[in-house]
């Protein structure tokens, strides 16, 4: 039996959200096969894993979505497989002072995004070899 997904409430207005397709949310064929939990009055949304609706994070308005994309811009260029990605998330969590490693930008609020971006903009957050590819991480 599939686990029932409880629709997330909007953290901005506390109203229930609605599961929409990308076409319904954006009004065009942009991401038409993707799904999103959305609060139309707040213009906040978050992606969903599939039509079953598992949220990929918390709802976000445009400024927070922009910060989360910027986090991914800095982060995603440094990994090439899941093992590398997991090591990088662990390294970032350690740099941010978290005692756990299961972090995800989709759950970050504005200040966490800003902190992560500052860390990732420094060259010391990841060690590079002479070819500018990620070297082995010293975790």
Give me the pLDDT at residue 2, please.
Answer: 59
**CA distances to 57, 79, 95 from 112, in Å:** 14, 21, 12
φ/ψ of 89, rounded to 5, equals: -60, -40
Note the pLDDT of residue 124. Answer: 77
The whole-number pLDDT of residue 130 equals 33
- Output the pLDDT for position 136: 46
Please say whether the beta carbons of 42 and 52 come within 8 A.
no
Domain residues of the chain, as ranges?
Answer: 1-59, 62-125
Task: Give the pLDDT score at 119.
Answer: 94
Q: In the prediction, which pLDDT does 127 show?
A: 62
Helix (H, G, I), strand (E, B) or coil at 105: helix
Question: Around Cβ 91, how many Cβ atoms within 10 Å?
Answer: 19
Between the two ends of the chain, the Cα-to-Cα distance in Å is 39
Give the model's pLDDT for residue 5: 80
Residue 47's SS3 state is strand
Across the 139 residues of the chain, what is the mean pLDDT of every consecutive 10-residue run?
78 94 85 87 92 90 97 92 90 87 90 96 66 43
For helices 110-121 and 62-76, angle between their N-to-C axes, nearest 10 degrees: 30
Residue 136 makes CB contacts below 8 A (sequence gap 6+) with 127
């Amino acid at each position: 039996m599939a686990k029932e997904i409880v629709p997330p409430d909007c953290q901005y207005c506390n109203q229930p959200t609605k599961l929409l397709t990308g076409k319904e949310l954006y009004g065009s064929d942009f991401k038409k096969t993707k799904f999103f939990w959305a609060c139309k009055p707040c213009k906040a949304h978050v992606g969903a894993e599939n039509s079953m609706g598992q949220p990929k994070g918390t709802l976000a308005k445009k400024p927070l979505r922009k910060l989360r994309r910027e986090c991914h811009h800095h982060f995603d260029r440094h990994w090439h497989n899941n093992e590398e990605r997991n090591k990088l998330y662990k390294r970032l969590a350690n740099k941010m002072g978290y005692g756990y490693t299961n972090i995800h930008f989709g759950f970050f609020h504005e200040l966490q995004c800003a902190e992560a971006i500052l860390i990732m903009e420094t060259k010391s957050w990841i060690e590079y070899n002479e070819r500018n590819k990620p070297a082995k991480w010293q975790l």
